[in-house]
Amino acid sequence: MSELELYNQKTFEDLKNINEYGVEFWYARDLMTALGYVKWGNFVKVINKAKSSAETSNINIFEHFADVGRVLKVGNGAKMEVTDIMLSRYACYLIVQNGDPRKKMIALGQQYFAIQTRKQELSEEKAPKDLTEEEKRLLLRGHVKGFNKKLASAAKECGVDNYGKFNNAGYMGLYGGETAQAIKVRKKLKKNDNILDFMGSTELAANFFRITQTEERLKKGDITTQSAADLTHFEIGKKVRATMKEISGTVPEKLPTPEKSIKEIEKEKKKLDNKSKKAIKK
């Protein structure tokens, strides 16, 4: 096995994680060690350069770099809570491209990705097109649905009895005081409509981040009352709102409401799939 093959196996495939939706990702702290960095602060500088490269190319960094909390095992079986970053394969590529080429693993990585890029260019298969807005909405709605169940479970473990109140706390933090009902009224939805089915991809992504970060926070085990859980959900929603305002200047309630609901898109997709199946049978 060549050095580059070993590089691919040891640096990427062995460190790869797969989430419950089958999406691959890497933890930055794992990658840091593999690339020869010792201090987290130094590696964060490389990550920030990688993020800048993505932004220069008009790529949404939140799709490739996701800040998370993580518990690591240290000496004597003790555990330590640290901040970490979930990375896509593309994020790993950008980090390697912006790393110190004097480090052997960085230099090998730059060679490795150059070869991989060339292989892709020579491939006869066309690269998949960027997801449409409707495809993004369907994907994110599925993620939100799955993680909302995990959040409900984590909230219950923390002593939450009134889930509606807890849920509203998150919305109020993210939407500047608006409850789920207030959002429904503003969007002019019907009584039985789910507000999540009437959100664009950006708004869904903001809620997905709120949900995952709250679930991660509640899992730490130090929140044991409804009021503490409500406050935590509110504060996390508020932080997501502040991040949106800082980066794009647009808060979630100012985002447009799509004309089609998720259910309508799913219905249309099902109809098209059925037509395709019938055409194949002919």
Cα distances (Å, whole numbers) of residue 129 to 125, 126, 153, 204, 263: 12, 8, 36, 21, 23
Distance, C-alpha 57 to centroid of its chain: 19
The total of other beta-carbon atoms located within 10 Å of residue 216's CB is: 17
- Under the banding of pLDDT at 50, 70 and 90, the label for residue 57 is confident
| Cross-sheet strand order for the sheet of 24-27 | 17-18, 24-27, 79-87, 65-73
Half-sphere exposure of 157 (CA within 13 A, CB side): 14
CB 81 within 8 A of CB 24: no
pTM above 0.85, yes or no: no
Which pLDDT band, with edges at 50, 70 and 90, does 46 fall under?
very high
- Please enumerate in sequence order all residues whose Cβ is within 8 A of that of 208, keeping only pairs 6 or more positions apart, or say none: 140, 143, 144, 147
End-to-end CA distance of the chain: 48
Q: Residue 205: CB partners within 8 Å, gap ≥ 6?
A: 62, 140
Across 17-139, the runs of DSSP E, i.e. the strands, are 17-18, 24-27, 65-73, 79-87
Q: How does residue 175 score in pLDDT terms, banded at 50, 70 and 90? A: very high
75-105 pLDDT, tens digit each: 677 788 889 999 988 888 899 888 888 888 8
Q: What distances in angstroms separate CA 179 from CA 168, 198, 218, one per listed residue?
A: 5, 15, 21
Q: Across the chain, where does the E strand assignment appear?
A: 17-18, 24-27, 65-73, 79-87
Task: Give the per-residue pLDDT at 127.
Answer: 40
Taking all residues of the chain, what is their mean pLDDT, rounded to a whole number?
Answer: 85
pLDDT in tens, 234-277: 999 999 999 899 888 999 999 999 999 999 999 988 887 666 55
Helices 104-122, 89-97: axis angle to 10 degrees equals 120
CA distance 127 to 131: 12
Q: How wide is the angle at C-alpha 28 spanned by C-alphas 97 and 19, nearest 5°?
A: 115
- 8 A C-beta contact, residue 144 and residue 196: yes
Q: What is the pLDDT of residue 112?
A: 66
- Overall average pLDDT of the 125-143 stretch: 75
